[in-house]
Structure 1
Amino acid sequence: MKKAATLQEALPYLRRFSGEIFVIKYGGHAMGNDDLARAFAENIVLLKQVGIHPVIVHGGGPQIGAMLERLEIVSEFIDGLRITDRKTVDVVEMVLAGSINKQIVSSIQQAGGMAIGLSGKDGNLIQARKLTRSKRDPDSNIERILDLGFVGEPRHINPDIFNAIDLDSLIPVIAPIGVGKNGETYNINADSAAGAIASALGAAKLIMLTDVAGVLDKSGKLVPVLTPKDVLVMQAEGTITGGMIPKIETCLDAVKAGVGSATILDGRVENVVLLETFTEHGVGTMIRREDTLTEES
């Protein structure tokens, strides 16, 4: 009876999302744990089986770090961003577009799906520009430009490659490597890449797997739904801080660009993608525009 009730609860969402695109950022603990990785692949295949078109954008920071260490290439960080010189960006591309990408493709295919591995350089999918950051010296109050090397941000997403792919049968798995105007390679944050791709495709959902439950209020309680106005208030209060800020900004940019909703989920929870998609209350924190709050989530 419980299984039947679960299927009944899922039915409205099966109807609503059939034929829609979900862009899912995959990374963190969910990617590093074998059991969670297997469950994730099975979740993706189930989404595909019921008519949803998942597009996966993956990270790989720990794996990149491990490979750089093996090759005795020293990494430096500024404000959490890896300085990426020419030697480092070659390793980043090798790890992201090579071993990690193909591992995810293989996992999905072992779960019964059909996946295709891509990088943002394929078909000029992610056209990038150099990421610029500045930092103000606390003593002199002089602002200086930080050179992060080959760290980029999406400038334009070319959706033509998705028109060439049969999304009815294939599951794209995308490594966040971008290409510059002169053919240079850029390492792009996976959250930023996923948000830009979701916006370009008009996705129904942007799902970001993280290592936290979602956005928490001042008392540490999960906030299930946020609007852009709510975010401004929580930022002003100092409730949203640190690494959550760029994730929230990516989600806000996506919903402002027309993505149906953007949800931050705890990737450490098994089957979290299914729980979010097919249950009445979902899990994690969903960011939506004010004018969509009366719709079903």
Structure 2
Amino acid sequence: MEVIEVKRGEKMDEILKKANTLIEAIPYIKKFSGKTFVIKYGGSAMVDEDINKLLIKDIVLFKLLGINIVIVHGGGPFIKETLDKLGKYSDFIDGLRVTDSETMEIVEMVLSGGVNKKIVNSIEAHGIKSAGVSGKDGNILTAKKKEIKNGDLGFVGDIKSVDTSLIKTLLEKDFIPVISPVAKDENFDTYNINADYAASEISSRLNAQKLIFITDTKGVMKDVNDEKTLISLMDLKGAKENIEKGIISGGMIPKVECCVKAVENGTKQVHIIDGRMKHSMILEIFTDEGIGTMFVKGGNYEKSKNN
């Protein structure tokens, strides 16, 4: 059968490019349908409405393709904005906000009552069921007070344990769980938990196929001033060596440590992507090259994305 050649203009080239992208996505769609992705929602996507709308559409597409989605979100800019409006100013120790009981009440209100429900509403506007919960619900996250050498942070916590029973129930009922990183300890005191660590721990307990960190950076680069030096694929040995060599430095260190810990404890693959790029999750997950940095355990694996 003869293939008909079509005279192509710029518009036709664009259409064919979209079609080729869809064809390229087929093996990934087949591979990931029925799997669980945990998405740590943060960065500019939290505050920029246009970016937020595009990312929500990506999440909805993942769900429609049969992927189980769990979202863990932060909300630092909204907490600061609310505290400033109330004239509530905090001290910081080693970059961490000292959180007294009054501040913790405000943090919980903003994260669990404001940011959380906004994400839920955005998802449900597309006809997808979503449920907003905090780490306190169903003992998803149990906290312990974060201890530091240089003082007392108040109600800032580390994760003591994770219970995924409620999350699994929501997934079985076809909901997208949206989780705020607020937890209680054994005395029922409430603590603020770092959202990156919460996402890492939850992903590991779920044995998720992927943990995706939505950030304001392209990924891990050998030279932070040169985006062409992006490291697209890194195993755990390489990640640890790059931290030791100083290639991974500053604020990227705790992010990468979360990636390493997640893979060590049960998550198959972890991605750091730039949420400011249009449809960044689709480009990272459903194309051969991807656009961010993916972390894998190591050993024998293909030197390409998502294998």
TM-score (norm 2): 0.90
Structure 1 unaligned segments of length 5 or more: list them: 135-144
Choose from 61, 74, 77 the match for 2:89.
Answer: 74
Question: Is 1:23 aligned to residue 38 of structure 2?
Answer: yes
Is residue 2:192 matched to residue 1:187? yes
- Residue in 1 that maps onto 2:25: 10
Q: Looking at CA atoms only, which structure, 1 or 2, has the larger radius of gyration?
A: 2
- In structure 2, the gaps of 5 or more residues are 1-15
* Structure 1 runs, 4 residues or longer, greater than 4 Å off: none
For residues 248-287 of structure 1, the aligned pairs below 5 Å read 248-287=256-295
Instruction: Give matches, 1:226-237, under 5 Å.
Output: 226-237=234-245
Does the CA contact (< 8 Å) of 1:121 and 1:178 recur in 2? yes
8 A contact 2:233–2:305 mirrored in 1: no
| Alignment partners' CA distance in 1, 2:140 and 2:153 | 22
Match of 1:151 in 2: 156
* 1:210 and 2:218 matched: no
8 Å CA contact 1:53–1:168 kept in 2: the answer is no
In the alignment, structure 1 residue 133 sits paired with structure 2 residue 153: no
Q: CA deviation at 1:238?
A: 1.1
Which deviations, in whole Å up to 9, do the C-alpha atoms of 1:62-90 show, x marking residues without a partner? 10001011111111212221111111110
Shift of 1:126: 0.5
- Measure the CA separation in 1 of the matches of 2:148 and 2:25: 44
SS of residue matched to 2:299: helix
Residue identity opposite 2:140 in structure 1: L
Give the whole-Å Cα distance in 1 for the aligned partners of 2:244 and 2:199.
26
Deviations 1:23-77 (A, max 9, x none): 0000111111111111111111110000001100001001000101111111121
Number of residues of Structure 1 aligned to a counterpart in Structure 2 = 287
Decide which moves more: 220-229 or 59-68.
220-229
In 1, distance between residues paired with 2:19 and 2:47? 33
Match of 2:301 in 1: 293
What is the alpha-carbon distance in structure 1 between the residues aligned to residue 113 and residue 236 of structure 2?
Answer: 37
Q: Is the 8 A contact 1:276 1:283 kept in 2?
A: yes
Deviation at 1:119, TM superposition (A): 0.3
- Cα distance in 2 for partners of 1:296, 1:89 equals 41
Matched, 1:113 2:118: no
Q: Residue 53 of structure 1 contacts residue 167 of structure 1 at CA under 8 Å; is this kept in 2?
A: no
Q: 2:112 maps to what in 1? A: 97
The answer to whether residue 70 in structure 2 is matched with residue 55 in structure 1 is yes
Partner Cα distance (1:114, 1:160) in 2: 18
Q: Distance in 1 between matches of 2:289 and 2:222?
A: 18
Contact 1:117–1:172 (CA<8 Å) still a contact in 2? yes
Q: Distance in 2 between matches of 1:249 and 1:292?
A: 22
Report if aligned partners of 1:157, 1:197 keep a CA contact under 8 Å in 2: yes
What is the TM-score normalised by the length of structure 1? Answer: 0.93
> What is the RMSD of the two structures over their aligned residues, measured on CA atoms?
1.4
Measured after TM superposition, the shift of residue 168 of structure 1 is 5.6
